[in-house]
């Protein structure tokens, strides 16, 4: 190789700057950081605040949740359309450019939760969070310290004081996206890690994982089986040698295994290796063991237990760019377009999902992911919407699992009026979707697709759904439809317009009995029922809601009901840029104004 | 001055944490092996004194399990299970035990091809005989081995539906290696069992080696009303307050904890913390044949390690155990009266002696 430049190649500096700028958003923030350090040209280009297209695109890419069905696809009719967090950032910081907004979003945002405290699902307990005021804790009868009644900051990574804010590169542990299931929250960080709150994301319920009596290979259980099978054998008349462990079926263990644990000799601590593996595969937020990093099953090297030191390897953990949660499961999409699913109470490790007979991710990548109550749904380029509510189990030595999927017919258009614009997931593989024509809402259920006949004005732009609610956004109004047990109550169609001057709901989330709305100005509105005074509305103590502010009334013995959308008081100077809700809890990303 | 040993011995005791398979003594193991034609491994001790000597020096849990599992294999016929339980009852009859809630692990037997019915019938007959001959009331709690797959546990629940429904099995428990098999894996098993019989009592081993969160998850997810071991609850004061408020019994096993290196000495048990928070706990033997002591030995070990406890403290501990037992209200009152009479007798003895010396 010579030092001479090949005349056939062009240096990137030689390209017109607008071409360079339009390619930059395809890079990751870290790539950009490295690029800005390579030479003066890039350093200047990237630190210039006026290179606003780059930073806007980058903001959209990192914080726009474009790979989940939280946001619709971009379309010709929605060119002006911005994601929820972009819209609010523009309204909150009208005088800042996108470079500064990107910086704000990266450095000054924090995760807040409120509602039921059970299983430490809020990411803390009543005693573990110094940000939690005692006056914001609801005590209910025998269940003391049952819920938190105001948005409360979750103990998170300390902001790295050495992080250089001027580089504009987002810190590693910035909260990019939050989502919520029936029992926990999932949090995606800018470094592509997924964290989950509390001690269980399933609540013990089966998700869309392996079918009954089929289950993923469990390295821990295999370890114990292996250990027990090394115990001495017994001779039983008529049955030959049997293992002496008593807890695993005889047939399952090869009888030729010879004992290396001779009776009478001391043995190492039976739990030592288990404890080591457990230690490697459990990572928590510093000083907060109520938020745990969720790993994938491919981190277990070759599923062999012999060598504990290399048994679990964090380096195999992929980098995630999107998350979505169902009731007892969640899925994540990686930067390599690989999908992982956490969906079983018997395994905390995400299973890699493959789709037999579908073309490769190189030609047909996954563009969006979404979760319904008990199933998952993705949009694959040129294939369309794909749903599944079970998958094959992961076997020893194999890292993939195959989804038992169905393709929703006529959803694969790449352009034109029939191209899918947005979709929302209910229950049992039931999916609602709209197309760029914006005229019809389609309902896919039990293999049939029908159109909904609803009295809705305007062109359909976006559709979202939660456990109990569907929200429909058009270019004129927004609407709500109630859902119970997966069945849509068509008579419940109502307008979502707030009575408050200048305020419009642009994002909606709901739990079992409560609804959380987010306005374009970054205000949170909640309404519905606080079961057992769990605090999920975030409006304050029950006495305050009922007798002082008179926002709502008690219902039954311990429920609080608030009928009208009511503004949630946030800490002074804070705005909300993202909400989530599930079960009896709510969460939000707040940002300092 | 610690209270007299005779007072401790006289206290009427309830046992809440005793695995029947763990009460298999060498003097029963060898005869059963002979009767059932089971050839023990060549390296296995040949005589009762040799095996007793081994039992005295387990290095750790695995060492214990080696023997425990071999022992389990000599139990084949109904009469074997009957005799195992009777041997236990005979021992505790001399230790003022009035009520015993007993664990058994069906999976240790069904996986060897022993029918569930054989196990349950053998144990149940012994319980009936103990009540008739010794006036000891008792009940059976079936334990799921948490390191077997939850689907297999679910199958066991289905197979034992008859016994769960008619009350032959009075409680459901969860034992074996806590980590890394958290409670949420067994929600389905527990709710199915409860659906068979709403009076079924639920309990789970938690917080012996696992974290305090396993204790609260067992309460919230499995809906248990009792926690076996549970000593790691003291890591979380919020949890202690909850346990006290909801009157959740912790079944503490002092000698077992020492034998399995959970603690070094009995005085490391956080019993004073539990007392100060008002948490009911009871003292139990766990696997008495292997851990060098039955219930009275555990009481005496704690008595020695906590010499500051007076008559009323001991009385309260015993009454807490009675009040959180799975027995009728009338029976609870009757037993508590008994405790109070004994406490009064001993306190009066002291004051009489004091008065006499100052007369």
pLDDT tens-digit series, residues B80-98: 999 999 999 999 999 999 9
B65 lies in a domain? Answer: yes
* B61 located within any domain: yes
The answer to whether B208 is a known catalytic residue is: yes
Start-to-end Cα distance in chain B: 23
Q: How far apart are CA A294 and CA A281, in angstroms?
A: 9
pLDDT at A168: 43
Residue A94 in any domain: the answer is no
In a domain, A325, yes or no: no
In a domain, B303, yes or no: yes
Residue A574 forms beta bridges with which residues? Answer: A592
Nearest to A234 by CA among B187, B297, B36: B36
pLDDT at residue B194 tops 80: yes
**Residue of B314 and A62 predicted with greater confidence:** B314
Q: What is the DSSP secondary-structure string of A121-162?
A: TTSS-TTT-TT--GGGEEEETTEEEEEEEEEEEPP-PPP-TT
Give residue B60's pLDDT band: very low, low, confident or very high (50, 70, 90). low
Residue A70 belongs to what domain range? 28-84
Any domain includes B37 = yes
ipTM rounded to 2 decimals: 0.74
Domain for residue B35, yes or no? yes
Q: Identify the bridge partners of residue A507 per DSSP, sorted by sequence position.
A: A518
Of B208, B333, B334, B340, catalytic: B208
B16 vs A301, higher pLDDT: B16
| Residues 6+ positions from A212 with CB-CB distance below 8 Å | B151
Residue A328 lies in a domain: no
Cα–Cα–Cα angle for B2, B8, B11, rounded to 5 degrees: 140
- Please check whether residue A271 lies inside any domain of the structure: yes
pLDDT higher than threshold 90 for residue A56: no
Check if the beta carbon of residue A132 is closer than 8 Å to that of residue A174. Answer: no
Q: Is residue B359 part of a domain?
A: no
In the block, tokens 């299973």 appear at: A351
B-chain residue closest to A203, CA distance: B184
Q: Is the pLDDT of residue A260 over 50?
A: no
Regarding whether A503 and A438 lie in a shared domain, the answer is no
If you search the block for the tokens 């095996």, which residue do you land on?
B51
The residue in chain A having the minimum alpha-carbon distance to the alpha carbon of residue B70 is A244
Beta-sheet pairing, A175-180 with A351-354? unpaired
Task: Mark whether A120 and A44 lie in a shared domain.
Answer: no
Residues 6+ apart with CB under 8 A from A252: A225
Q: Where are the alpha helices (DSSP H) in A376-445?
A: none
Higher-scoring residue by pLDDT: A309, B209: B209
| Angle (nearest 5°) at CA A405 between A193 and A202 | 45
pLDDT tens figures, A341-389: 999 988 889 999 999 999 999 999 999 999 999 999 999 999 999 999 9
Q: Which chain A residues are Cβ-neighbours of B60 within 8 angstroms?
A: 266-270
Stretch B198-212: mean pLDDT, rounded?
Answer: 92
Asked if residue B17 belongs to a known ligand binding site, the reply is yes
Answer yes or no: is A207 within a domain. Answer: no
The three-state secondary structure class of A271 is: coil
In terms of domains, do A136 and A51 share one? no
Mean pLDDT on A286-304: 83
CA distance B221 to chain A (A): 7
Both tokens assigned to A538: 């975030």
CATH number at B238 reads: 3.20.20.140
User: What is the pLDDT, as a whole number, of residue A499?
Assistant: 80
Residue-level pLDDT at A22: 67
Cβ of B242 and A120 within 8 Å?
A: no
pTM exceeding the 0.90 threshold for the entire prediction: no
Chain-wide mean pLDDT for chain A? 84
In a domain, A262, yes or no: yes
CATH value at residue A452: 2.40.10
Residue with tokens 């995760």: A111
Question: Which residue from A477, A459, A469 is spatially nearest to A432, judged by alpha carbons?
Answer: A469
Classified as helix, coil or strand, A326 is coil
pLDDT of A78 higher than 60: no
pLDDT of B262 > 70? The answer is yes
A77 — pLDDT class (breaks 50, 70, 90): low
Q: For chain A, what is the domain count?
A: 4
Mean pLDDT, range A201-206, rounded to an integer: 91
Contact of A509 with A578, CB cutoff 8 Å:
no
DSSP-based three-state secondary structure for B205: strand
| Residue B287 assigned to a binding site | yes
Quick check: is B200 in a domain?
Answer: yes
Contact B43 A245 (CB under 8 A): no
Cβ-proximal residues to A94 (8 Å cutoff; 6+ apart), any chain: none
Q: Residue A417 domain-assigned?
A: yes
Question: How do residues A470-481 score in pLDDT, each as one tens digit?
Answer: 999 998 889 999
Q: What is the pLDDT of residues B96-141, one digit of tens each?
A: 999 999 999 999 899 888 999 999 999 999 999 999 999 999 999 9
Number of domains into which chain B is organized: 1
Looking at the fold, whether A41 and A53 belong to one and the same domain comes out as: yes
Residue B72 has pLDDT above 90, yes or no: no
A538 closest CA partner among A185, A180, A149, A153: A149
Reported confidence tier of residue A79, pLDDT bands at 50, 70, 90:
low
| A45 assigned to some structural domain | yes
- For residue B241, the chain A residue with the least C-alpha distance is A144
A residues 139..178 contacting B (CB < 8 A): 142-145
> In the A/B pair of chains, how many CB contacts fall below 8 A?
165
pLDDT bracket for residue A245 (50, 70, 90): very low
Residues in Cβ contact with A45 at an 8 Å cutoff, skipping those fewer than 6 apart:
A17, A20, A21, A36, A51, A54
Contact criterion met (CB < 8 Å) for B73 and A246: yes
CB-CB under 8 Å, A200 with B182: yes
Q: Is residue B358 part of a domain?
A: no
Domain with B316, as residue range(s), is 5-353
Per-residue model confidence as pLDDT tens digits over B149-185:
898 999 999 999 999 999 999 999 998 777 778 899 9
Report the mean per-residue pLDDT for chain B. Answer: 92
């Amino acid at each position: 190789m010579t030092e001479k430049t090949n005349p056939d190649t062009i240096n990137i500096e030689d390209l017109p700057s607008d071409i360079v700028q339009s390619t930059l958003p395809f890079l990751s923030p870290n790539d950009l950081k490295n690029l800005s350090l390579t030479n003066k040209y890039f350093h200047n280009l990237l630190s210039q605040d006026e290179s606003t297209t780059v930073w806007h695109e980058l903001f959209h890419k990192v914080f726009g949740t474009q790979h989940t069905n939280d946001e619709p696809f971009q379309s010709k009719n929605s060119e002006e359309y911005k994601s929820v967090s972009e819209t609010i950032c523009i309204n909150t910081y009208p005088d800042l450019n996108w470079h500064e907004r990107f910086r704000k979003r990266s450095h000054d945002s924090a995760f807040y939760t409120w509602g039921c405290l059970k299983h430490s699902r809020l990411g803390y307990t009543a005693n573990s969070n110094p940000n939690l005021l005692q006056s914001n804790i609801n005590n209910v009868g025998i269940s003391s310290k049952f819920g938190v009644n105001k948005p409360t900051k979750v103990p998170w990574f300390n902001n790295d004081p050495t992080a250089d804010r001027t580089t504009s590169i987002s810190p590693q542990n910035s909260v990019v996206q939050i989502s919520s299931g029936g029992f926990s929250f999932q949090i995606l960080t800018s470094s592509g890690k997924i964290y989950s709150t509390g001690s269980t994301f399933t609540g013990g319920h089966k998700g869309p994982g392996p079918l009954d009596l089929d289950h993923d290979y469990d390295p821990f259980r295999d370890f114990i089986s292996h250990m027990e099978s090394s115990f001495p054998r017994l001779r039983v008349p008529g049955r030959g040698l049997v293992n002496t462990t008593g807890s695993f079926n005889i047939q399952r263990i090869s009888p030729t295994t010879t004992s290396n644990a001779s009776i009478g000799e001391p043995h190492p601590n039976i739990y030592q290796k288990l404890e080591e593996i457990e230690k490697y595969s459990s990572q928590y937020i510093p000083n907060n063991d109520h938020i745990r990093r969720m790993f994938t099953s491919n981190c277990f090297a070759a599923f062999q237990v012999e060598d504990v030191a290399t048994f679990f390897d964090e380096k195999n953990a992929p980098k995630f760019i999107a998350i979505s949660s169902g009731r007892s499961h969640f899925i994540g999409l990686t930067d390599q377009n690989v999908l992982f699913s956490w969906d079983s109470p018997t395994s905390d490790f995400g299973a890699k999902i493959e789709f037999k007979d579908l073309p490769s991710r190189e030609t047909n990548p996954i563009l969006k992911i979404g979760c319904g109550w008990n199933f998952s749904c993705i949009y694959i380029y040129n294939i369309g919407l794909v749903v599944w509510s079970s998958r094959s189990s992961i076997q020893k030595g194999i890292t993939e699992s195959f989804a038992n999927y169905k393709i929703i017919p006529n959803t694969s258009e790449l352009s034109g009026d029939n191209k899918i614009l947005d979709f929302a997931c209910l229950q049992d593989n039931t999916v609602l979707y709209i197309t760029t024509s914006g005229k019809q809402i389609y309902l896919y259920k039990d293999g049939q697709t029908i159109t909904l006949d609803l009295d809705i004005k305007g062109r359909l732009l976006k559709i979202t759904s939660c456990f109990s609610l569907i929200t429909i956004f058009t270019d004129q109004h927004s609407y709500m439809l109630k859902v119970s047990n997966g069945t849509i109550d068509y008579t419940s169609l109502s307008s979502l317009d707030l009575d408050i001057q200048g305020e419009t709901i642009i994002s909606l989330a709901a739990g079992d009995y409560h609804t959380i709305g987010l306005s374009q100005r970054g205000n949170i509105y909640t309404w519905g029922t606080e079961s057992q005074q769990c605090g999920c509305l975030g409006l304050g103590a029950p006495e305050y809601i009922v007798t002082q502010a008179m926002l709502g009334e008690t219902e039954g013995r311990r429920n609080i009901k608030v009928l009208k959308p009511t503004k949630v008081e946030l800490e002074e100077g804070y705005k909300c840029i993202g909400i989530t809700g599930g079960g009896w809890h709510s969460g939000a990303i707040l940002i300092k104004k | 001055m610690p209270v007299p040993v005779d007072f401790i011995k006289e206290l009427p005791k309830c046992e809440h944490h005793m695995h029947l398979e763990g009460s298999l003594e060498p003097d029963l193991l060898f005869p059963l092996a002979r009767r059932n034609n089971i050839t023990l491994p060549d390296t296995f001790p040949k005589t009762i004194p040799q095996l007793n000597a081994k039992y005295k020096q387990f290095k750790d849990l695995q060492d214990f399990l080696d023997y425990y599992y071999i022992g389990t294999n000599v139990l084949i016929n109904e009469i074997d299970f009957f005799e195992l339980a009777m041997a236990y009852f005979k021992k505790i009859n001399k230790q003022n035990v009035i009520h015993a809630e007993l664990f058994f692990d069906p999976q240790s037997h069904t996986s060897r091809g022993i029918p569930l019915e054989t196990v349950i019938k053998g144990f149940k007959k012994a319980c009936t005989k103990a009540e008739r001959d010794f006036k000891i009331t008792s009940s059976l709690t079936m334990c799921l081995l948490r390191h077997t797959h939850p689907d297999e546990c679910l199958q066991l629940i289905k197979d034992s539906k008859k016994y769960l429904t008619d009350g032959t099995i009075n409680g459901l428990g969860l034992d074996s290696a806590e980590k890394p098999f958290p409670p949420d894996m067994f929600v389905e098993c527990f709710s199915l069992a409860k659906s068979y019989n709403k009076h079924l009592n639920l309990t789970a081993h938690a917080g012996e080696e696992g974290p305090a969160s396993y204790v609260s998850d067992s309460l919230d997810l499995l809906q248990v009303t009792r926690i076996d071991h549970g000593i790691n609850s003291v890591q979380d004061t919020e949890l202690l307050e909850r346990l006290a408020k909801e009157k959740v019994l912790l079944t503490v096993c002092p000698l077992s904890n020492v034998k399995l290196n959970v603690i070094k000495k009995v005085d490391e048990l956080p019993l004073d913390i539990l007392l100060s928070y008002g948490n009911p706990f009871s003292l139990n033997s766990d696997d008495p044949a292997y851990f060098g002591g039955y219930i009275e030995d555990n009481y005496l070990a704690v008595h020695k390690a906590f010499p500051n406890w007076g008559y009323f403290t001991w009385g309260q501990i015993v009454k807490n155990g009675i009040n959180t037992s799975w027995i009728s209200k009338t029976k609870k009152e009757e037993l508590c009266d008994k405790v109070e009479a004994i406490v009064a007798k001993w306190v009066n003895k002291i004051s009489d002696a004091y008065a006499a010396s100052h007369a």
